[in-house]
Chains A and B, each alone.
Chain A
Amino acid sequence: MAKVTIDGQTIEVADGTTILQAARMIGPEVAPPTMCYYSKLKTSGGYCRTCLVEVSKGSEKDPRPMPKLVASCRTTIMDGMEVKNMTSDKVIDARKGVVEFLLLNHPLDCPVCDQAGECQLQDLGYEHGSAKTRTDFKRRTFDKIDIGNKIQLHMTRCILCYRCVKTAEQITDGRVHGVLNRGDASEISTYIEQAIDNDFSGNVIDVCPVGALTDKTFRFKSRVWFTKPVDAHRDCDKCSGKTVVWYKGEDVLRVTGRKDQWGEVEEFICNTCRFDKKKTSDWTIEGPRAISHQSVISANHYTKMVKPRELTLNNIKTIALTEGENK
């Protein structure tokens, strides 16, 4: 066990835990944002640099601070380590820079992008970015590519987080897509279009933090905040069958994995559940999906609305003022 203090809050965690995992255990108020790290995927993280934090004390044994900001998703904690996230000006400054870099070549086509409303880059830009752009250069663009007949790759929106590559590597057999070229010309590609044919390939849509990989059965059908998510399950011989089914009126528009509070799916689901089961009769409905009240998806259907407490006579405590107490 090791003790770590993040933004003044101390927690004891098992050895080998990363700073990010420890921060998530404490709570969302100290957890650094992530764009490439995905707890369900091995060796993910380290690329986007949004989770950079300052280590102001290395450990109990060696209290020297670390010279550079470190990627919290790939740095394991040491006993007695002290970490600054939102309390460090250096971190806030660097993160602002990272957001700017990520948005540099990202098209601002949110009004026509299917991911809008559940996009991690939107959230990141809103929370940590600047309101104004400082660049007036042409953005890099790519042609759209079909990855299999159900998945659309819109490389122009990609921020190269490598999550889809790791997904394909780790949960499907025989990865056929990867990264071509280098630098800001690098692109996720199959090299041969239409090459992906795999029962679990659809999960790359769920892991994509932006709108680069989208579900062709859902494209342009609806904005996500007009749909209502419900938890549902079915007997599936390939996966657990536990999904979220997104309704618009009576119609099932799409099926996705269940995402937790960090935007990561709890379990990967198969392509049959995702693409082919688009009828209510296919599913056993469990109930409405709890969505954070801060999410645009929950507009008009909050699940955790707290009623303002009414003042009753019993709640009013008498305050005794004795002379001299106020001094």
Chain B
Amino acid sequence: MSKKILLEHIGVPGIETLAVYREKGGYSSVEKALKTMTPDAIVEEVKKSGLRGRGGAGFPTGMKWSFLAKPEGVARYLVCNADESEPGTFKDRYLMEKIPHALIEGMITSSFALGANTSYIYVRGEYFYIIKILEKAIADAYAAGWLGKNILGTGYDLDLYVQAGAGAYICGEETALLESLEGKRGNPRIKPPFPAIAGLYGCPTVVNNVETIAAVVPIVNNGGDWYAGIGIGRSTGTKLISASGHINKPGVYEIEMGITVEDFIYSDEYCGGIKNGKKLKAVVAGGSSVPILPAEMILTTANGEKRLMSYESLADGGFASGTMLGSGGFIVMDETTSIVQNLHTFARFYHHESCGQCSPCREGTGWMEKILHKILDGHGTLEDVDLLWEIQRKIEGNTICPLGDAAAWPVASAIRHFRHEFEDYVKNAAAIKNVKHYHNMHNLATA
């Protein structure tokens, strides 16, 4: 059974306009929050809802909000992280493009809850058309009195700005985002201090994902307890999943957490099964940085239960047999996929996007890419596979920001679960005149 909260009115013609959005009950959370609730009461509702950060880490939003320092006379900021750059993730783009006012409304309500009078939406530079959509929506909201001075006569002021990034994946890391927003080079900061204490311009700041902020709207409208009743266990509510790869119906789906992975891949309501009747080989469940899992492990957990689409179930078994929900970038691979080639693509991405601040990530990502390229070129040795494992082990956990981990995990999991494929490349090194030939030989798709 599908449950739509964020995408409830997705099919309504004109929902991107303020008039239609308002007709469908839009901006009611702002009215409710500003007129009948105190900021603390809203934070309390969000805490009760069990909402967790939808950007990838899954940190409880209410707790994050309650960490925000509130010194007298110092401005506080809410920053929306719309720098959605994780390969395989495109849910925020869909939401902002189709229902921009959902984000604006969430921003107003959340800003009020946090006591912020200036808020920013940091959009990745490649989403230039979305910046136009958001700016139009913000202008309309200003004109209708939802933004600006003295909103709804309650005395609350809020200015909302859209800032375009310049196309760096690293700026999706919250402190790098703040640096970039301040007009500096987008290098992650060394923590502590955390943004909740010293963030944008040294002031207390909360950085939340687009989907998280949009989810605050139904929580304020219907109450935290209502939201906590949806989903399973500590994975409450619904989640937007960007499904891509070898499936019949790629796209963005809103799911209630707790449906089985098998259902999600094979039911006609969602992915609609594997393309051309092929077999499922592997799934990257939460965007390119989370560990890849082979078919049998993604469908069932180590103790034989059906794996569910939830934070806990996907992480069941740790990295030995589990993965992470991450940002919900669900990449499905059929039997014709070469894991090594796919990994090379990921490694090339992380090499390109490393900011170069700390040595393990700066040097290690490039090294891993070169070794993978060597293996694909037919010059690899078995020692190279061991070396790859060693390198990722020395990057993981030793870097300033999570990009090092994000680069290390795909390599680790690919070797852990598909070592035979690497060895096959190495053993057939002489036979590989070119990758295409090798792939035809092994019945793999030629990319």
Enumerate chain A interface residues (CB-CB to B < 8 A): 45-49, 52, 68-69, 71, 74, 93-94, 97-98, 100-102, 104-105, 134-135, 137, 159-160, 162, 178-179, 181-186
A72 to B352, CA, bound (A): 29
A71 to B354, CA, bound (A): 19
Known: A74-B190, A182-B168. A101 touches B363 (CB 8 A): yes
Q: Name the contact of A46 in the complex, choosing from B190, B354, B364, B395 (C-beta under 8 A).
A: B190
Q: In the assembled complex, which residues on chain B have CB atoms less than 8 Å from the CB atom of A93?
A: 394
A327 to B396, CA, bound (A): 54
Q: In the assembled complex, which residues on chain B have CB atoms less than 8 Å from the CB atom of A186?
A: 355-356, 362
Sample 20 A-B pairs with CB under 8 A, ordered by A number.
A47-B358, A47-B400, A49-B399, A94-B394, A98-B360, A98-B394, A98-B398, A101-B360, A101-B362, A105-B363, A137-B370, A159-B359, A160-B357, A160-B359, A162-B357, A182-B355, A183-B366, A184-B351, A184-B365, A185-B356
Contact indicator B394/A101 (Cβ below 8 Å):
yes
Contact indicator B358/A104 (Cβ below 8 Å):
no
Q: Is B229 part of the binding interface, using a Cβ–Cβ cutoff of 8 Å?
A: no
Main secondary structure of the interface of A (DSSP, over half): loop
A98 to B397, CA, bound (A): 12
Contact indicator B362/A183 (Cβ below 8 Å):
yes
Interfacial residues of chain B within 371-423, with CB under 8 A of chain A in the complex: 387, 393-395, 397-400
Contact indicator A183/B394 (Cβ below 8 Å):
no
Q: In the assembled complex, which residues on chain B have CB atoms less than 8 Å from the CB atom of A97?
A: 360, 393-395, 398
Q: In the assembled complex, which residues on chain A have CB atoms less than 8 Å from the CB atom of B353?
A: 182-183
Q: Besides the contacts A101-B363, A104-B363, A184-B363, what 12 more A-B pairs have beta carbons closer than 8 Å?
A: A46-B400, A47-B400, A48-B358, A49-B358, A68-B398, A69-B398, A71-B400, A101-B360, A135-B367, A160-B359, A182-B354, A184-B354
B85 to chain A, nearest CB (A): 14
Q: Which of B185, B394, B397 has the most CB of A within 10 A?
A: B394
Main secondary structure of the interface of B (DSSP, over half): helix
A93 to B395, CA, bound (A): 11
Q: In the assembled complex, which residues on chain A have CB atoms less than 8 Å from the CB atom of B356?
A: 160, 179, 181-186
Q: In the assembled complex, which residues on chain A have CB atoms less than 8 Å from the CB atom of B351?
A: 183-184
Q: In the assembled complex, which residues on chain A have CB atoms less than 8 Å from the CB atom of B399?
A: 49
Using an 8 Å CB-CB cutoff, how does the interface string of B233-273 with A read, 1 for contact, 0 for none? 00000000000000000000000000000000000000000
* Beta-carbon nearest neighbor of B186 in chain A: A182
Q: In the assembled complex, which residues on chain A have CB atoms less than 8 Å from the CB atom of B352?
A: 183
A55 to B362, CA, bound (A): 25
Contact indicator B359/A48 (Cβ below 8 Å):
yes
A160 to B359, CA, bound (A): 8
A134 to B389, CA, bound (A): 13
A184 to B360, CA, bound (A): 10
A236 to B357, CA, bound (A): 37
A178 to B185, CA, bound (A): 10
B257 to chain A, nearest CB (A): 26
Known: A104-B367, A184-B356. A49 touches B398 (CB 8 A): yes
Q: In the assembled complex, which residues on chain B have CB atoms less than 8 Å from the CB atom of A105?
A: 363
* Beta-carbon nearest neighbor of A43 in chain B: B190
Contact indicator A49/B362 (Cβ below 8 Å):
no
A128 to B115, CA, bound (A): 50
Contact indicator B190/A98 (Cβ below 8 Å):
no
Contact indicator A183/B364 (Cβ below 8 Å):
no
B135 to chain A, nearest CB (A): 28
* Beta-carbon nearest neighbor of B393 in chain A: A97
Q: Name the contact of B367 in the complex, choosing from A45, A137, A179 (C-beta under 8 A).
A: A137
Contact indicator A179/B362 (Cβ below 8 Å):
no
Q: In the assembled complex, which residues on chain B have CB atoms less than 8 Å from the CB atom of A178?
A: 185
